[in-house]
Amino acid sequence: MKFLVTVKRVTDYEAKIKLKADKSGIVTDGVNMIMNPFDEIAVEEALRQKEKHGGEVVVLSIGSSDSVAQLRSALAMGADRAILVKNDGELDANGVAKILQKIVEKEAPDVVLMGKQAIDDDNNQAAQMLAELLGWGQGTFANTITIDGGNATIVREADGGLETVKCSLPCVITADLRLNEPRYASLPGIMKAKKKPLDEVELSSLGLNTTLKVKVVGYEEPAAKQAGQKVPDVATLVHKLKTEAKAI
C-alpha cells in the first residue's frame, strides 16, 4: 500500500505572531518554523498503516528549499522518501490542489493523507479540492482510519458527534487532532533521514497555471480585547455579573 503525505512548513503554534510594521505580512525573522501539527499526525498515521499493511510512505512539500527541514523531520519519523515541489511564490489552495494532483497522478498512491488545516492560513481547503480534482472520495477530520478490502472506513469528528464514512481506494483523508499521537524521531531515525531520497521538482516543470484566484491583500491585528478586572470573591463576581454585565 502506498501512502502520500503532505507536509507544510508553518510558524510554530507557540510563536507569538506579530504584524510587520508596514503590514505587508507577519514577522518571520526569529520565528521558529515547524511541520504543520496536523501534517505530523498525518505522517504518523501513514507510518502506522504501513506497519499494518506494508508498503511505502512518501512525503511531499510545496515551498522554498527551507521546507527540506520539515521533509527531513518526516523522514526521521520513518517516511521512506520525500518530494519537494520548489516554489518561492504565493499559492492559493486551488494552486496547491492542482500541484498535488500532478504528483498524485505520477505517484499513484492508494491513500493521500493530509492535515485537516494548516495552522497559518487556517484555510482547510486543499485536501477536499484535491479529492474533487481526482474524482476520489474523502474522509476529512479523521479520528480513526481502518483500511481493508480496497476500502477505507473513516470515523470523522463531525458537529454533534462522530460520523463514519466509507471510501473506495484510492482516497484522500485528512487528520484531526485525535487520530494519533505522533512519535518523536529517534536519533538513528534522524541519522538515517539524511540519506533517504529527496527529489526536487521545479513548479515550472509541471506546466500548470497557478495564477492566484484568492489573494491576501491586507493584514491587520484584530482589535485587542479590553483587559477586564480581577474580582476578589464569588459574591463580588455574582453581583457584577448581575448588575454590571447583566449576564445572568
Partner 1 sequence: MATHLIVAEHTGGKLVKATLAAVSAAQKVGGTIHAIVLGQGIGDVAAELAPFAATVHTAEHPGVKDRAAQPWAKVIADAATAIGATHVWAAATGAGKDLMPRVAIRLDAGMASDISAVVNDSTFKRPMWAGNITGTVAVSSATKVITVRPTEFAAPAAGAAGTIAAFAADPGASKMSFVSFDAVVSDRPALSDARVIVAGGRGLKGPEGFKTIVEPMADVLSAAIGASRAVCDAGWVPNDWQVGQTGKVVAPELYIAIGISGAIQHVAGMKGSKCIVAINKEPEAPIFQVADYGLVADLFKVCPELTEALKAAKA
Ligand X SMILES: Cc1cc2nc3c(=O)[nH]c(=O)nc-3n(C[C@H](O)[C@H](O)[C@H](O)COP(=O)(O)OP(=O)(O)OC[C@H]3O[C@@H](n4cnc5c(N)ncnc54)[C@H](O)[C@@H]3O)c2cc1C
Considering only residues 23 through 82, tell me which ones interact with ligand X, judged by CB under 6 A: 37
Alpha-carbon separation of residue 3 from 27, 84, 157 (angstroms): 35, 16, 22
Q: Between residue 95 and residue 134, which ones bind ligand X under the rule CB under 6 A?
A: 119
Using the minimum distance from each CB to partner 1, give the nearer residue, 150 or 188.
150
- Least distance (Å) between residue 192 CB and partner 1: 30
- Least distance (Å) between residue 146 CB and partner 1: 11
- Least distance (Å) between residue 236 CB and partner 1: 9
As given in the structure block, the three cell numbers for residue 123 are 484555510
Q: Which does 195 bind (CB under 5 to 8 A by kind): partner 1, ligand X, none?
A: none
Q: Which does 180 bind (CB under 5 to 8 A by kind): partner 1, ligand X, none?
A: none
Note whether 180 binds partner 1 by CB under 8 A: no
Using the minimum distance from each CB to ligand X, give the nearer residue, 26 or 119.
119
As given in the structure block, the three cell numbers for residue 51 are 506497519
Note whether 26 binds partner 1 by CB under 8 A: yes
**DSSP states along 177-196:** TTS--PPPPPHHHHHHHTTS
The number of C-alpha atoms within 13 Å of 198 and in the hemisphere containing its C-beta is: 22
- Least distance (Å) between residue 108 CB and partner 1: 15
- Least distance (Å) between residue 18 CB and ligand X: 18
Name 146's Cβ contacts closer than 8 Å, sequence gap at least 6. 152, 153, 154
Integer Cα distance of 159 and 179 in angstroms = 16
Residue 123 DSSP code: -
- Residue where the block lists cell 515547524: 34
Residue 141 DSSP code: E
Alpha-carbon separation of residue 240 from 86, 162, 225, 226, 227 (angstroms): 57, 39, 19, 17, 16
Using the minimum distance from each CB to ligand X, give the nearer residue, 27 or 119.
119
Using the minimum distance from each CB to ligand X, give the nearer residue, 13 or 219.
13
- Least distance (Å) between residue 222 CB and partner 1: 5
Q: Which does 135 bind (CB under 5 to 8 A by kind): partner 1, ligand X, none?
A: partner 1
Q: Which does 238 bind (CB under 5 to 8 A by kind): ligand X, partner 1, none?
A: partner 1
Name 78's Cβ contacts closer than 8 Å, sequence gap at least 6. 47, 57, 183, 189
Q: How far apart are the first and last CA of the chain?
A: 57
Given the rule CB under 8 A, which of 51-59, 80-88, 175-183, 194-202 is the region that contacts partner 1?
A: 175-183
- Least distance (Å) between residue 41 CB and ligand X: 9
Using the minimum distance from each CB to ligand X, give the nearer residue, 119 or 206.
119
Q: Which residues bind ligand X (CB under 6 A)?
A: 13, 37, 119
